Amino acid sequence: MIILFRLLSVFPLGVLQALGSVCGWVVWLCSSRYRQNFNRHIGQAGLQAARRRAIRETGKTIFELPKIWLRPNAEVVRRVTRVSGWELIDAGVAAGRGIVLLTPHLGCFEITAQYCASHRPITVLYRRAKQAWLAPLVEAGRGANLKLAPADLSGVRRLLKALKNGETIGLLPDQAPGTGEGIWAPFFGRPAYTMTLAARLADTGATVLMIYAERLTWGRGYHVHVQALSAPLIGDLAARTAQINGEIEQLIRRCPGQYLWAYNRYKTPAGAEPPPDSVATPRSGVQGMQSSSAPTGGPT
Protein backbone atom coordinates (compact mmCIF):
# COMPACT_ATOMS: atom_id res chain seq x y z
CA MET A 1 0.00 0.00 0.00
CA ILE A 2 2.87 2.38 0.78
CA ILE A 3 4.31 1.71 -2.68
CA LEU A 4 0.93 2.54 -4.23
CA PHE A 5 0.78 5.83 -2.31
CA ARG A 6 4.26 6.79 -3.46
CA LEU A 7 3.36 5.94 -7.04
CA LEU A 8 0.18 8.00 -6.92
CA SER A 9 2.03 10.97 -5.44
CA VAL A 10 3.78 11.64 -8.76
CA PHE A 11 0.53 11.82 -10.73
CA PRO A 12 -0.77 15.30 -11.64
CA LEU A 13 -3.31 16.61 -9.14
CA GLY A 14 -6.01 16.76 -11.80
CA VAL A 15 -5.53 13.08 -12.64
CA LEU A 16 -5.70 12.08 -8.98
CA GLN A 17 -8.89 14.04 -8.49
CA ALA A 18 -10.43 12.51 -11.60
CA LEU A 19 -9.62 9.04 -10.28
CA GLY A 20 -11.06 10.08 -6.94
CA SER A 21 -14.32 11.18 -8.55
CA VAL A 22 -14.75 7.75 -10.12
CA CYS A 23 -13.79 5.96 -6.91
CA GLY A 24 -16.24 8.09 -4.95
CA TRP A 25 -19.10 6.84 -7.11
CA VAL A 26 -17.88 3.23 -7.03
CA VAL A 27 -17.83 3.16 -3.23
CA TRP A 28 -21.19 4.91 -2.99
CA LEU A 29 -22.82 2.43 -5.39
CA CYS A 30 -21.21 -0.71 -3.97
CA SER A 31 -21.61 -0.14 -0.23
CA SER A 32 -25.19 0.11 0.99
CA ARG A 33 -24.08 1.01 4.52
CA TYR A 34 -21.85 3.81 3.25
CA ARG A 35 -24.65 5.04 1.01
CA GLN A 36 -27.21 5.02 3.82
CA ASN A 37 -24.93 6.94 6.19
CA PHE A 38 -24.01 9.42 3.48
CA ASN A 39 -27.65 10.04 2.54
CA ARG A 40 -28.75 10.29 6.17
CA HIS A 41 -26.10 12.85 7.09
CA ILE A 42 -26.55 15.11 4.08
CA GLY A 43 -30.32 14.76 4.42
CA GLN A 44 -30.15 15.80 8.08
CA ALA A 45 -28.57 19.05 6.92
CA GLY A 46 -31.16 19.55 4.19
CA LEU A 47 -28.42 19.78 1.57
CA GLN A 48 -29.40 16.87 -0.67
CA ALA A 49 -29.00 19.08 -3.74
CA ALA A 50 -25.23 18.86 -3.25
CA ARG A 51 -25.19 15.06 -2.97
CA ARG A 52 -23.89 14.18 -6.43
CA ARG A 53 -21.01 16.59 -6.13
CA ALA A 54 -20.29 15.49 -2.58
CA ILE A 55 -19.97 11.87 -3.73
CA ARG A 56 -17.27 12.90 -6.20
CA GLU A 57 -15.51 15.26 -3.81
CA THR A 58 -15.27 12.59 -1.11
CA GLY A 59 -13.30 10.42 -3.52
CA LYS A 60 -11.04 13.36 -4.36
CA THR A 61 -10.33 13.84 -0.66
CA ILE A 62 -8.80 10.36 -0.51
CA PHE A 63 -6.94 10.34 -3.82
CA GLU A 64 -5.22 13.68 -3.30
CA LEU A 65 -3.67 12.53 0.00
CA PRO A 66 -0.56 10.96 -1.62
CA LYS A 67 0.20 14.30 -3.26
CA ILE A 68 -0.40 16.27 -0.05
CA TRP A 69 1.52 13.93 2.23
CA LEU A 70 4.46 12.77 0.12
CA ARG A 71 5.49 15.61 -2.16
CA PRO A 72 7.95 18.29 -0.95
CA ASN A 73 6.28 20.92 1.22
CA ALA A 74 7.18 23.75 -1.14
CA GLU A 75 5.45 21.93 -3.99
CA VAL A 76 2.36 21.23 -1.88
CA VAL A 77 2.05 24.83 -0.71
CA ARG A 78 2.19 26.07 -4.31
CA ARG A 79 -1.10 24.25 -4.85
CA VAL A 80 -2.75 27.02 -2.85
CA THR A 81 -3.44 29.51 -5.62
CA ARG A 82 -5.72 31.91 -3.78
CA VAL A 83 -6.13 33.06 -0.17
CA SER A 84 -8.93 35.11 1.39
CA GLY A 85 -8.91 36.56 4.90
CA TRP A 86 -5.24 36.02 5.73
CA GLU A 87 -5.15 39.53 7.17
CA LEU A 88 -7.13 38.17 10.13
CA ILE A 89 -4.19 35.93 11.02
CA ASP A 90 -1.74 38.79 10.55
CA ALA A 91 -3.84 40.95 12.88
CA GLY A 92 -3.83 38.26 15.56
CA VAL A 93 -0.06 37.92 15.30
CA ALA A 94 0.40 41.70 15.46
CA ALA A 95 -1.71 41.79 18.63
CA GLY A 96 0.67 39.31 20.24
CA ARG A 97 -2.09 36.81 20.89
CA GLY A 98 -2.16 33.10 20.21
CA ILE A 99 -4.32 31.95 17.32
CA VAL A 100 -6.70 28.98 17.27
CA LEU A 101 -7.47 27.80 13.74
CA LEU A 102 -10.54 25.57 13.50
CA THR A 103 -10.56 23.41 10.37
CA PRO A 104 -13.68 21.28 9.74
CA HIS A 105 -13.73 18.20 7.50
CA LEU A 106 -14.37 20.53 4.58
CA GLY A 107 -12.46 20.71 1.31
CA CYS A 108 -8.80 19.70 1.51
CA PHE A 109 -8.40 19.97 5.26
CA GLU A 110 -4.97 18.32 5.10
CA ILE A 111 -3.38 21.23 3.26
CA THR A 112 -4.44 24.08 5.57
CA ALA A 113 -1.88 23.35 8.29
CA GLN A 114 0.90 22.91 5.75
CA TYR A 115 0.06 26.25 4.17
CA CYS A 116 0.00 27.97 7.56
CA ALA A 117 3.31 26.35 8.47
CA SER A 118 4.87 27.90 5.37
CA HIS A 119 4.32 31.30 7.02
CA ARG A 120 4.76 30.66 10.75
CA PRO A 121 5.07 27.79 13.25
CA ILE A 122 1.86 25.90 13.98
CA THR A 123 1.03 23.05 16.35
CA VAL A 124 -1.83 20.79 15.30
CA LEU A 125 -3.77 18.24 17.29
CA TYR A 126 -3.19 14.84 15.73
CA ARG A 127 -4.99 11.55 16.26
CA ARG A 128 -2.74 8.72 15.14
CA ALA A 129 -4.17 6.64 12.30
CA LYS A 130 -5.56 3.24 13.26
CA GLN A 131 -3.72 1.69 10.31
CA ALA A 132 -0.07 1.41 11.36
CA TRP A 133 1.20 1.73 7.78
CA LEU A 134 -0.44 5.16 7.44
CA ALA A 135 1.45 6.80 10.31
CA PRO A 136 4.81 7.29 8.54
CA LEU A 137 3.04 8.61 5.44
CA VAL A 138 1.10 11.19 7.44
CA GLU A 139 4.16 12.30 9.37
CA ALA A 140 6.27 12.49 6.21
CA GLY A 141 4.24 15.47 5.04
CA ARG A 142 5.01 17.62 8.07
CA GLY A 143 7.52 20.41 7.59
CA ALA A 144 9.86 21.92 10.17
CA ASN A 145 7.31 24.56 11.20
CA LEU A 146 4.51 22.02 11.69
CA LYS A 147 4.50 20.33 15.08
CA LEU A 148 2.18 17.46 15.99
CA ALA A 149 0.39 17.24 19.32
CA PRO A 150 -1.15 13.86 20.17
CA ALA A 151 -4.86 13.81 20.96
CA ASP A 152 -4.33 13.23 24.68
CA LEU A 153 -3.53 15.25 27.79
CA SER A 154 0.09 15.74 26.79
CA GLY A 155 -1.05 17.10 23.45
CA VAL A 156 -3.44 19.55 25.08
CA ARG A 157 -0.57 20.80 27.22
CA ARG A 158 1.46 21.41 24.06
CA LEU A 159 -1.40 23.40 22.55
CA LEU A 160 -1.74 25.53 25.68
CA LYS A 161 2.01 26.14 25.77
CA ALA A 162 1.98 27.23 22.12
CA LEU A 163 -0.88 29.67 22.78
CA LYS A 164 0.90 31.04 25.84
CA ASN A 165 3.90 31.76 23.60
CA GLY A 166 1.66 33.61 21.15
CA GLU A 167 1.88 30.87 18.52
CA THR A 168 -0.73 29.31 16.25
CA ILE A 169 -2.50 26.00 16.83
CA GLY A 170 -4.96 24.04 14.71
CA LEU A 171 -7.54 21.32 15.23
CA LEU A 172 -10.57 19.68 13.63
CA PRO A 173 -13.53 20.93 15.71
CA ASP A 174 -15.96 18.43 14.17
CA GLN A 175 -13.84 15.37 14.93
CA ALA A 176 -15.81 13.02 17.18
CA PRO A 177 -14.09 12.96 20.58
CA GLY A 178 -13.65 10.05 22.93
CA THR A 179 -15.80 9.43 25.99
CA GLY A 180 -15.49 12.23 28.54
CA GLU A 181 -13.93 14.62 26.02
CA GLY A 182 -17.14 16.09 24.68
CA ILE A 183 -20.77 16.96 25.26
CA TRP A 184 -23.94 16.60 23.21
CA ALA A 185 -24.55 19.70 21.11
CA PRO A 186 -26.79 20.38 18.11
CA PHE A 187 -25.31 19.88 14.66
CA PHE A 188 -27.76 20.51 11.84
CA GLY A 189 -30.59 20.03 14.31
CA ARG A 190 -29.47 16.67 15.70
CA PRO A 191 -27.43 15.98 18.85
CA ALA A 192 -23.79 15.24 18.03
CA TYR A 193 -21.14 14.31 20.58
CA THR A 194 -18.88 17.34 20.20
CA MET A 195 -15.42 18.13 21.52
CA THR A 196 -15.27 20.88 24.13
CA LEU A 197 -11.57 21.50 23.61
CA ALA A 198 -12.09 24.20 20.96
CA ALA A 199 -14.33 26.22 23.29
CA ARG A 200 -11.95 25.74 26.22
CA LEU A 201 -8.95 26.90 24.19
CA ALA A 202 -10.85 30.07 23.33
CA ASP A 203 -10.92 30.84 27.06
CA THR A 204 -7.18 31.58 26.88
CA GLY A 205 -7.95 34.85 25.10
CA ALA A 206 -6.55 33.60 21.81
CA THR A 207 -7.94 34.74 18.48
CA VAL A 208 -10.30 32.04 17.17
CA LEU A 209 -10.63 31.76 13.39
CA MET A 210 -12.24 29.33 10.97
CA ILE A 211 -10.17 28.09 8.03
CA TYR A 212 -10.73 25.69 5.15
CA ALA A 213 -9.25 24.98 1.73
CA GLU A 214 -11.80 24.93 -1.09
CA ARG A 215 -10.88 22.48 -3.80
CA LEU A 216 -10.88 24.18 -7.22
CA THR A 217 -12.07 22.38 -10.34
CA TRP A 218 -9.89 20.58 -12.89
CA GLY A 219 -6.90 20.25 -10.57
CA ARG A 220 -6.34 24.01 -10.39
CA GLY A 221 -5.35 23.86 -6.73
CA TYR A 222 -7.01 25.27 -3.64
CA HIS A 223 -8.51 28.47 -2.32
CA VAL A 224 -7.80 28.94 1.39
CA HIS A 225 -10.53 30.82 3.25
CA VAL A 226 -9.94 32.37 6.67
CA GLN A 227 -12.80 34.02 8.52
CA ALA A 228 -13.62 35.30 11.97
CA LEU A 229 -16.43 33.91 14.09
CA SER A 230 -19.73 35.57 13.30
CA ALA A 231 -20.15 36.45 16.99
CA PRO A 232 -17.98 36.23 20.12
CA LEU A 233 -18.18 32.96 22.03
CA ILE A 234 -20.39 33.60 25.05
CA GLY A 235 -22.29 31.64 27.69
CA ASP A 236 -21.41 28.41 29.42
CA LEU A 237 -19.37 25.60 27.91
CA ALA A 238 -22.43 23.96 26.33
CA ALA A 239 -23.50 27.22 24.68
CA ARG A 240 -20.02 27.97 23.36
CA THR A 241 -19.63 24.43 22.01
CA ALA A 242 -22.99 24.67 20.26
CA GLN A 243 -21.98 28.02 18.80
CA ILE A 244 -18.84 26.52 17.28
CA ASN A 245 -21.01 23.82 15.69
CA GLY A 246 -23.11 26.62 14.27
CA GLU A 247 -20.02 28.26 12.79
CA ILE A 248 -19.12 24.95 11.14
CA GLU A 249 -22.63 24.70 9.71
CA GLN A 250 -22.20 28.14 8.14
CA LEU A 251 -19.03 27.08 6.35
CA ILE A 252 -20.64 23.86 5.14
CA ARG A 253 -23.63 25.74 3.73
CA ARG A 254 -21.19 27.83 1.70
CA CYS A 255 -19.52 24.71 0.31
CA PRO A 256 -21.88 21.73 0.85
CA GLY A 257 -20.43 19.62 -1.93
CA GLN A 258 -17.04 19.47 -0.23
CA TYR A 259 -18.00 18.39 3.28
CA LEU A 260 -17.06 14.85 4.32
CA TRP A 261 -20.63 13.59 4.72
CA ALA A 262 -19.43 10.01 5.02
CA TYR A 263 -17.82 10.88 8.36
CA ASN A 264 -20.04 9.60 11.17
CA ARG A 265 -20.52 12.84 13.06
CA TYR A 266 -23.42 11.43 15.08
CA LYS A 267 -21.87 8.32 16.57
CA THR A 268 -22.04 7.63 20.31
CA PRO A 269 -18.60 6.85 21.80
CA ALA A 270 -18.32 3.66 23.81
CA GLY A 271 -19.25 4.35 27.40
CA ALA A 272 -20.81 7.75 26.72
CA GLU A 273 -24.29 8.64 27.85
CA PRO A 274 -26.81 8.27 25.01
CA PRO A 275 -27.83 11.49 23.27
CA PRO A 276 -30.74 13.39 24.78
CA ASP A 277 -34.05 13.48 22.94
CA SER A 278 -33.37 17.09 22.10
CA VAL A 279 -30.56 19.55 22.62
CA ALA A 280 -31.48 23.18 22.93
CA THR A 281 -30.05 25.35 20.18
CA PRO A 282 -28.85 28.67 21.61
CA ARG A 283 -30.28 31.81 20.13
CA SER A 284 -27.29 33.60 18.75
CA GLY A 285 -26.16 35.47 15.70
CA VAL A 286 -24.86 32.22 14.29
CA GLN A 287 -28.24 30.52 14.27
CA GLY A 288 -29.96 33.53 12.81
CA MET A 289 -27.47 33.71 9.98
CA GLN A 290 -27.86 30.01 9.28
CA SER A 291 -31.55 30.33 8.65
CA SER A 292 -30.92 33.01 6.05
CA SER A 293 -27.91 31.37 4.41
CA ALA A 294 -28.51 29.66 1.10
CA PRO A 295 -26.14 26.96 -0.09
CA THR A 296 -24.05 27.94 -3.07
CA GLY A 297 -23.99 24.40 -4.38
CA GLY A 298 -20.41 23.89 -3.25
CA PRO A 299 -17.15 24.82 -4.87
CA THR A 300 -10.96 18.58 2.07
Which domains are assigned to the chain?
Answer: 80-292 (3.40.1130)
Whether residue 43 is predicted with pLDDT greater than 60 in this model: the reply is yes
Q: How confident is the model at residue 293 (pLDDT cuts 50, 70, 90)?
A: very low
Q: How confident is the model at residue 143 (pLDDT cuts 50, 70, 90)?
A: low
| Per-chain mean pLDDT for the chain | 90
Question: CA quadruple 198, 201, 205, 206: dihedral positive or negative?
Answer: negative
Q: What's the mean pLDDT in 15-29? A: 98
The pLDDT score that the predictor gives to residue 285 is: 38
How far is the CA of 206 from the CAs of 97, 182, 286, in angstroms?
6, 21, 20
Whether residue 62 is predicted with pLDDT greater than 50 in this model: the reply is yes
Whether residue 286 is predicted with pLDDT greater than 80 in this model: the reply is no
Kindly report the backbone phi and psi dihedral angles of residue 198, in degrees, each rounded to the nearest multiple of 5, phi listed first.
-60, -45
Contacts of residue 85, defined as CB under 8 A and 6 or more positions apart, other chains included, come to 209, 225, 226, 227, 228
Whether residue 295 is predicted with pLDDT greater than 60 in this model: the reply is no
The pLDDT score that the predictor gives to residue 34 is: 97
Contacts of residue 144, defined as CB under 8 A and 6 or more positions apart, other chains included, come to none
Nearest Cα residue to 292 out of 230, 220, 221, 237:
230
Q: What's the mean pLDDT in 33-57? A: 98
Exposure b/e, 183-201, CB count within 10 A at least 16 = b = bbbbbbebbbbbbbbbbeb
Whether residue 181 is predicted with pLDDT greater than 50 in this model: the reply is yes
Q: What's the mean pLDDT in 144-157? A: 91
Q: What's the mean pLDDT in 268-272? A: 86
HSE at residue 181, side-chain half, CA atoms within 13 A, is: 17
Q: How confident is the model at residue 284 (pLDDT cuts 50, 70, 90)?
A: very low
Whether residue 222 is predicted with pLDDT greater than 50 in this model: the reply is yes
Strands of 80-84's sheet in order across: 80-84, 222-228, 207-215, 99-102, 168-171, 122-126, 146-150
The residue count for the chain: 300
Query: Who wins on pLDDT, 295 or 198?
Result: 198
Contacts of residue 55, defined as CB under 8 A and 6 or more positions apart, other chains included, come to 24, 25, 28, 38
The pLDDT score that the predictor gives to residue 278 is: 56
Whether residue 132 is predicted with pLDDT greater than 80 in this model: the reply is no
pTM over 0.95: no
Question: Are 101 and 116 contacting, i.e. CB atoms less than 8 angstroms apart?
Answer: yes
Q: What's the mean pLDDT in 119-144? A: 79
